[in-house]
Amino acid sequence: MSLTQEQVIHIAHLAKLHITPEEVEQYQWDLNSIVGYIDILSQVPDSELQKVHGNIEHTLIPRLDEEHRDISREELLSCTPQKVIHHQIAVDSLGIRA
């Protein structure tokens, strides 16, 4: 499978990217390389995938999802260049510095 220039332009539009015609060609080449690699991977027999999957389970150790509170609220608020009012960063309704 290969992507057409129209498909690349559509993908860029969905990603809210403004690309030039020269960039369309480059992205088309890049995306087609990625899709080509995925096509190659889809041809790997399931028996080979099981070998890889087994190795990954033993090498990737998920980290514990723990809350850390090493920095106090005052230390964090002291980093902002904006005004701090009642322990909150002050902004106007448009999000522009107060």
Are the C-beta atoms of residues 19 and 27 closer than 8 Å to each other?
A: yes
**Is residue 37 assigned to a domain?**
yes
In the chain, how many domains are there? 1
* Dihedral of alpha carbons 39, 43, 49, 52, sign: negative
**Is residue 27 assigned to a domain?**
yes
Mean pLDDT of 71-83: 88
3-class DSSP assignment, residue 52:
helix
Neighbours of 1 (CB within 10 A): 7
pLDDT band at 98 (very low <50, low <70, confident <90, very high): very low
**Is residue 10 assigned to a domain?**
yes
Can you give the CATH number for the domain in which 47 is found? 1.10.20
**Is residue 67 assigned to a domain?**
no
| pLDDT tens figures, 26-61 | 999 999 999 999 888 888 887 777 766 655 556 667
Q: Facing residues of 88 across strands?
A: 85
Residue type, 87: H
pTM of the model as a whole: 0.47
Domain with 31, as residue range(s), is: 5-59
